[in-house]
Amino acid sequence: MIKGYTGGAFDLFHIGHLRLLKNAKKHCDYLIVGIASDKLLLEIKGKKPVIPLEQRIEIVNAIPYVNKIIIKNFDNDTWIAYKQKAKIIFKGSDWKNKKKWKWIEANAKALHIKTKILPYTKNISTTKIRRKINGFQKTTKNKDNE
């Protein structure tokens, strides 16, 4: 059995998240998903998630491609994959040229774990959704004040 691993925030769950999980499952028999804790997201991104951890877990757990969920309390996908006995780590192609991905690849190789970049769904991200919501809220507030 081939175990695969991917990690992320999975905040404001969208089609890009779903496609990543679906594609990852095509390359493994058992998919483990690490969901970043609220505290970790605050440390890494400098902002709290919109959707609390418990709800993000419930949402991702409802996806049929996911076999196991773990909570990420620290930012080291390679170590988490190793501890979970995963044989492959998946990330979206938006990670391809990032220094962090190069670090994951190098460490995974040293631990005999494969890495695979999967297609990124263009024009959708949690950041873009947040911007739209913020823009909508500003527009609505201005109209309410007229």
Q: Quick check: 143 pLDDT over 60?
A: no
Query: How many of the other CB atoms lie within 10 Å of CB of 51?
Result: 18
What are the distances in angstroms from CA 72 to CA 42, 102, 117, 127, 135?
13, 20, 20, 20, 31
- Tens digits of per-residue pLDDT, 47-83? 889 999 999 999 999 999 999 999 999 999 999 999 9
The residues with which 69 forms a beta bridge, in sequence order, are 33
| pLDDT at residue 129, as a whole number | 72
Average pLDDT over the chain, rounded to an integer? 89
CATH number at 22 reads: 3.40.50.620
What pLDDT sits at residue 140? 52
141 lies in some domain? no
Q: Is residue 139 part of a domain?
A: no
Asked, for residue 144, whether it belongs to a domain, the answer is no
Residue 98 located in a structural domain: yes
Residue with tokens 């493994």: 28
So what's the pLDDT on residue 28? 98
pLDDT 10s digits, 100-130: 999 999 999 999 999 999 988 777 666 777 6
Give the model's confidence band at 7: pLDDT under 50 very low, under 70 low, under 90 confident, else very high: very high
pLDDT given at position 120: 81
Residue 126 lies in a domain: no
Q: Is residue 27 part of a domain?
A: yes
Residue 98 is encoded by which pair of tokens? 């990032």
pTM of the model: 0.85
Q: Tell me whether residue 146 is in a domain.
A: no
Angular region, 97: left φ>0, alpha ψ -120 to 50, beta rest? alpha
For residue 29, give its domain range. 3-121
pLDDT of residue 144 exceeding 80 = no
* Bigger pLDDT: 96 vs 32: 32
Rounded Cα distance, 24 and 79, in Å: 19
Q: Is residue 63 part of a domain?
A: yes
Tokens 């460490």 correspond to 107
Query: 3-class SS at 119?
Result: coil
Structural domains in the chain (count): 1
Q: How confident is the model at residue 138 (pLDDT cuts 50, 70, 90)?
A: low
